[in-house]
C-alpha cells in the first residue's frame, strides 16, 4: 500500500486533505499501462514563409519549439530594392541557405541573407536556445523605418501560440 494525500476542493471555498492508501498492484498497473517516462517530443519540421517588402516582414513574429527543424522560406516581394534577413541568432546555430539568396556577414560578424527583388531563399536550421530573438533588414535604413521582427524558441513540446 502506498500512502497518498488527496485534496478535495469545495467550489464555494475551503476543502479538506485526506490520506488514502493505494494498493501496490494498482500503482504497478498504472506504471505498466501509462509508463513513467515523459520522453522527448518528436522533432517537428516548421516551414515559415516570410515576405520581405518595403520596410516590413510579413509575418514579423513567429514561434518554434526547441529541437524543431525550421525552414524560413524568404521571398523579397519588392520590385525595386533588395532586402535582407539579419539575426544574431544565425551566428549561434548551424544553418543552410538554398535558393537565390546571398549569404553574407556584417562588419560586426552577424550573419545575414540578402535577396534582390523577386528572389527567394530557404534558411534551414534546428532551433536551440530558448528565448526571444530579433531580426531586421540591415540594408540602408530599413530597420529604422520598421523592417524588424522577432521569433520565440519555446521549450520542446510546448504548445505554440496560434500566431
pLDDT at 37 > cutoff 50: no
The answer to whether 103 and 122 have CB atoms below 8 angstroms apart is no
Is there a domain that residue 15 lies in? yes
DSSP code of residue 41:
P
Question: For the chain, first and last CA: distance in Å?
Answer: 48
Q: In this structure, are 78 and 25 located in the same domain?
A: no
Q: What is the domain range of residue 77? A: 45-154
Q: In this structure, are 23 and 70 located in the same domain?
A: no
Domain of 65, CATH number, reads 2.60.40.420
What's the pLDDT score for residue 4?
A: 52
Q: In this structure, are 19 and 71 located in the same domain?
A: no
Q: What is the pLDDT of residues 64-99, one digit of tens each?
A: 999 999 999 999 999 999 999 999 999 999 999 999
Q: In this structure, are 142 and 92 located in the same domain?
A: yes
Q: In this structure, are 76 and 119 located in the same domain?
A: yes
Q: What is the pLDDT of residues 117-150, one digit of tens each?
A: 999 999 999 999 999 999 999 999 999 999 999 9
The answer to whether 149 and 61 have CB atoms below 8 angstroms apart is yes
DSSP code of residue 32:
H
Higher pLDDT, 14 or 126: 126
The answer to whether 92 and 98 have CB atoms below 8 angstroms apart is no
For residues 23-32, give the mean pLDDT.
53
Q: In this structure, are 28 and 49 located in the same domain?
A: no
Q: What is the pLDDT of residues 41-50, one digit of tens each?
A: 557 999 999 9
Is there a domain that residue 8 lies in? yes
Q: What angle do CA 24, 25, 29 make, to 5 degrees?
A: 120
Q: In this structure, are 100 and 57 located in the same domain?
A: yes
- Count how many domains the chain has: 2
Q: In this structure, are 69 and 22 located in the same domain?
A: no
Q: In this structure, are 65 and 114 located in the same domain?
A: yes
DSSP code of residue 88:
G
Q: In this structure, are 79 and 128 located in the same domain?
A: yes
Is there a domain that residue 159 lies in? no
Is there a domain that residue 115 lies in? yes
Q: Counting every residue, how long is the chain?
A: 163
Q: In this structure, are 27 and 49 located in the same domain?
A: no
Q: In this structure, are 8 and 88 located in the same domain?
A: no
Amino acid at each position: 500500500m502506498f500512502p497518498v494525500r488527496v485534496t478535495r476542493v469545495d467550489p464555494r471555498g475551503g476543502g479538506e486533505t485526506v490520506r488514502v492508501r493505494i494498493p501496490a498492484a494498482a500503482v504497478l498497473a498504472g506504471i505498466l499501462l501509462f509508463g513513467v517516462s515523459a520522453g522527448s517530443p518528436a522533432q517537428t519540421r516548421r516551414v515559415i514563409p516570410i515576405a520581405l517588402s518595403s520596410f516590413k516582414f510579413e509575418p514579423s513574429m513567429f514561434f518554434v519549439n526547441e529541437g524543431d527543424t525550421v525552414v524560413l522560406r524568404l521571398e523579397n516581394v519588392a520590385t525595386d530594392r533588395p532586402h535582407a534577413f539579419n539575426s544574431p541568432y544565425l551566428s549561434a546555430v548551424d544553418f543552410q541557405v538554398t535558393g537565390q539568396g546571398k549569404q553574407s556577414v556584417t562588419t560586426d560578424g552577424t550573419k545575414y541573407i540578402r535577396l534582390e527583388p523577386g528572389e527567394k531563399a530557404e534558411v534551414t536550421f534546428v532551433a536551440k536556445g530558448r528565448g526571444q530573438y530579433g531580426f531586421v533588414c540591415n540594408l540602408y535604413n530599413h530597420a529604422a523605418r520598421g523592417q524588424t521582427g522577432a521569433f520565440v524558441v519555446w521549450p520542446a513540446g510546448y504548445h505554440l501560440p496560434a500566431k
